[in-house]
Amino acid sequence: MDQKKRQYGLRLSDLHWIESARNLIMKKRFSTITVCALIIVSMIAGMGINRLISADNLYDQIRKFGDILSFVEKNYVDEVDTGKLTDAAIVGMLNSLDPHSIYIPPKQFEKVVEDFKGKFEGVGISFRVINDTITVIEPIAGGPSARMGVLSDDRIVKINDSSSIKYTDQDVMKRLRGPKGTKVRITIKRPGEKDLLDFEIIRDVISIYSIDASMMVSQDVGYVRVNQFKETTHEEFAAALQKLQSQGMKRLILDLRDNGGGYLEEAYHMADQFLSGGTAEHPRTIVYTKSRKAEFEEAYYAQSGDPYEKLPLIILVNHGTASASEIVSGAIQDWDRGLVVGETTFGKGLVQRQYPLRDGSAFRLTVARYYTPSGRLIQRSYEGKNKDEYQMEAFQRDEQEGENIDHTHDEKSDSTIPKFKTFGGRTVLGGGGITPDYVVKSGNLTGLVQTLWRRNIFYDYSKEYIEGPGNSVRSKYGQDLEKFKSSFQISDPMLQDFRKYIATKKIVIDEKEYQEDLNFIKARLKAQIAQWLFGFEGYIGVILEVDNQFQKAMTLFPEAEKISNLK
């Protein structure tokens, strides 16, 4: 059985346990309370600890739960939903273990599976319901809507000849998604067009890409931004590197900021692209896991043969970089293979195994811990903290900016932090997360800009602009993003118009804050317009121009090459 199935599926013995429970229910017609208790027994069986079922203590706990649920059902002042109570009990049980063991209700689980598979069947659009109308944010590249000529900012006013005004997100997905090969008719109101446009679209398999952007950012520097590690990430990443290499890439910035992780095996493949293999006696470890059960302990080793093993490399990370992303950045750092730049990562190093349940729900149970090649535990401590405290802690670190090649910043402030050695002899720190080799903070935006961001003012204004005075921009630049980046400017009249628009939303402009963040305001407006014209890659291409972490990384390749002994 392959790695991913072992990590996220049930074993055959677990399925037998659940089937036995179902048969018993059918034969005996047990009460609701007994059924709930059997569900818990089945869930425990799925954890792989069947041998404990005969233990008196476990039976005592199941009986205790059944007794309480029975009393509640019979005696509570209002009618109760025992299914909801059982779900709440499961949530509470898993919450008491660690922050990452979770219960996933049936409706959510279907989307979780879809997200990690990286595909679904439908028409292929990214959308938002704005003022009760379905607005196309972007047709997914290569999908049936894009092939038929659906454009960003098109308004879907009818689906199968019925009005789609006031649809919810769930309504849209229910009616536009469907089996490959089936047809759906949509009617579109396109800004600048008098008549409605009808499209008959044949649904197809739509890929949900884990790579937001792969582009050249200078004559020889390639840039790849990865948003998650899905089943398709390795395949996407290999294709992106090959494309950039053909365009002259000789150095690479890998952006893992706000990448919350995903499949361990996909992270292993990514790191392996840049690491040469060791020997039979001394294999080069990328990541390994430890558990109280041997079946969950694994080690992943690099293999030689990839064409990027000598490619100068910088990885961008921040407080939202977690799990599989930390595996990649930790392995690169421990082997002195490249430079890690940004802010200390989240610190999520627990391995979850996912167990589906009979009602379409599932739960993830922590079964092991990740360690980097030097022996660092990636997981940050969560003892004595509730989930909110644990989450917020990762984003409230007070880090000293600057060069941190020997990782002395935190070492000076906290001598209890465990220290490790890279294979090149540098000191790196444990204690949770990956501390960058060069600390660069993302920068704090003023309250004004944060308000504009939260209220979607940049998005809404750019939408009105591209439909009105900026309608000619689309035809002027076509598909030439580089021309747009170099020649399109946010003019003073446009800024004045933007200020008037802000006022119509009853937002007071603090002049000091406005001037302080004026460069960012211009860049964000330009980036948002670029997204309407060129998709999300257009947005990223523009916003990198005011991204201080990225801009700093562009100056650090000499240091990255020095650490990797590539000079």
Q: Which amino acids are annotated catalytic?
A: 323, 334, 348
DSSP string, 290-316: E-SSGGG--EEE--S--TTTTS-EEEE
Task: Answer yes or no: are the C-beta atoms of 378 and 327 closer than 8 Å.
Answer: yes
Q: Are 256 and 315 in contact (CB under 8 A)?
A: yes
Residue recorded with tokens 């009393």: 71
Q: Which residues of 43-74 are buried (b: 16+ CB within 10 A; e: fewer)?
A: bbbbebebeeeeeeeeeeebeebbeebbeebe
CB-CB neighbours of 129 under 10 Å = 17
- State CA 49 to chain mean position distance: 32
Give dist(CA 128, CA 118) in Å, integer.
20
Q: How far apart are CA 6 and CA 295, in angstroms?
A: 10
Spatial distance between the Cα atoms of 205 and 208, rounded to a whole number of angstroms: 10
What are the DSSP calls for 233-250, one per residue?
HHHHHHHHHHHHHHTT--
Structure tokens at 119: 């595909």
The residues, any chain, with a CB within 8 Å of residue 398's CB and separated by 6 or more, are none
Distances (CA, A) of 350 to 143, 264, 353, 399, 497: 36, 11, 10, 24, 50
For the beta carbon of residue 196, count every other beta carbon within 10 angstroms.
Answer: 12
Specify the residue for token string 């098109």.
154
248, 220 contact by CB (below 8 A): yes
User: With contact defined as beta carbons under 8 Å apart, do 70 and 34 qualify?
Assistant: no
Give the whole-angstrom CA distance, residue 88 versus residue 80. Answer: 13
DSSP lists the bridge partners of residue 289 as: 370
Helix (H) or strand (E) holding 202: strand 197-202
Cα angle: 307, vertex 308, 313; to 5 degrees: 170
Q: Which of 308, 244, 296 is nearest to 270 (CA)?
A: 308
Report the interhelical angle of 82-95 vs 32-46 (nearest 10°). Answer: 30
In angstroms, the CA 28 to CA 344 distance is 56
